[in-house]
Amino acid sequence: MKRRPLSVSAVLVLSLSLFILPSLLSAQVTKADYDRAFGLREKLQSLAVDLPERPSFIGTTPRFWYRKTVSGGSAFVLMDAATLEKKPAFDHARLAAALAKAVGEAVEPFKLPFNTITFVDGEKAVEFAARDNRWKCDLSTYDLTKLGPVERGSRDPWSMWVRGPAPEAASANVKTSPDGAREAFIRNYNVWVRTKDKKEEFPLSWDGSEGDYYTYASLAWSPDSKKIAAYRLRRGYHRLVNYVESSPADQLQPKFRQMEYAKPGDALDISVPVLFHVDPKARIDLDNRLFANPYDMSGLAWRKDGRAFTFEYNQRGHQVYRVIEVDGTTGRVRALISEEPKTFFHYSGKKYRYDVDDGREIIWMSERDGWNHLYLYDGLTGQVKNRITEGEWVVRGVERVDAAKREIWIQAGGMNPGIDPYFVHYYKVDFDGTGLAPVTEGNATHNLVFSSDYSYFLDTSSRVDRPTVMELRRTSDLKVLTEVEKTDVSGLVKAGWKAPEVFVAKGRDGKTDIWGVIFRPTRLDPRKKYPVVESIYAGPHGSFVPKTFSPYNGMQSLAELGFIVVQIDGMGTSNRSKSFHDVAWKNIGDAGFPDRILWHKAVAAKYPWYDITRVGIYGTSAGGQNALGALLFHPEFYDAAVSACGCHDNRMDKIWWNEQWMGWPIGPEYASSSNVDNAHRLQGKLLLVLGEMDTNVDPSSTMQVVNALIKAGKMFDLLVIPGGGHGSGGAYGDKKRYDFFVRNLLGLEPPDWNKDEPKK
pLDDT surpassing 50 at residue 168:
no
Q: How confident is the model at residue 540 (pLDDT cuts 50, 70, 90)?
A: very high
Contact 184, 174 (CB under 8 A): yes
Q: Which pLDDT tens digit goes with each residue over 181-228?
A: 999 999 999 999 999 999 999 999 999 999 999 999 999 999 999 999
pLDDT surpassing 80 at residue 23:
no
Average pLDDT over residues 274-296: 96
Average pLDDT over residues 363-369: 98
DSSP string, 107-127: --TTS-S-S--EEETTTTEEE
Burial 239-249 (b: 16+ CB within 10 A, else e): eebebebeeee
Average pLDDT over residues 409-413: 98
Strand order in the sheet with 73-80: 56-57, 63-70, 73-80, 86-88
Q: Which pLDDT tens digit goes with each residue over 41-92?
A: 999 999 999 999 999 999 999 999 999 999 999 999 999 999 999 999 999 9
Q: How far apart (Å, rounded) are the C-alpha atoms in residues 577 and 572?
A: 10
- Mean model confidence pLDDT for the chain: 94
Return the pLDDT at 155.
59
Q: How far apart (Å, rounded) are the C-alpha atoms in residues 88 and 72?
A: 16
Cα 669 to its chain centre, rounded Å, is 25
Average pLDDT over residues 722-727: 97
Return the pLDDT at 226.
98
Q: In sequence order, what are the residues at sequence separation of 6 or more whose Cβ sits closer than 8 angstroms to the Cβ of residue 175? A: 183, 184, 185, 216, 219, 220, 221
CA nearest neighbour of 388 among 347, 341, 354: 354
**In the chain, where are the structural domains located?**
8-12+30-43+500-749, 56-149
Determine what percent of the chain is predicted with pLDDT higher than 70.
Answer: 93
CA–CA–CA angle 401, 406, 411 (5° rounding): 40
Task: For domain 8-12+30-43+500-749, give the CATH number.
Answer: 3.40.50.1820
Q: How confident is the model at residue 173 (pLDDT cuts 50, 70, 90)?
A: confident
Torsion region of 359: left, alpha or beta (phi above 0 gives left; psi -120 to 50 gives alpha): left
Which residues, in sequence order, are bridge partners of residue 85?
Answer: none
- Across 158-172, 382-396, 478-492, least confident range: 158-172
Return the pLDDT at 18.
38
Higher pLDDT, 679 or 27: 679
Q: Is the peptide bond before 248 cis (omega within 30 degrees of 0)?
A: no
Return the pLDDT at 27.
73
Return the pLDDT at 158.
61
Q: How far apart (Å, rounded) are the C-alpha atoms in residues 714 and 237?
A: 36
Residue type present at position 665: P
CA nearest neighbour of 714 among 758, 674, 683: 683
DSSP string, 163-174: --PPPPP-TTS-
DSSP H or E run through 631? helix 622-633
Q: How far apart (Å, rounded) are the C-alpha atoms in residues 256 and 240?
A: 12
Question: How does DSSP classify residue 268?
Answer: P
Q: How confident is the model at residue 298 (pLDDT cuts 50, 70, 90)?
A: very high
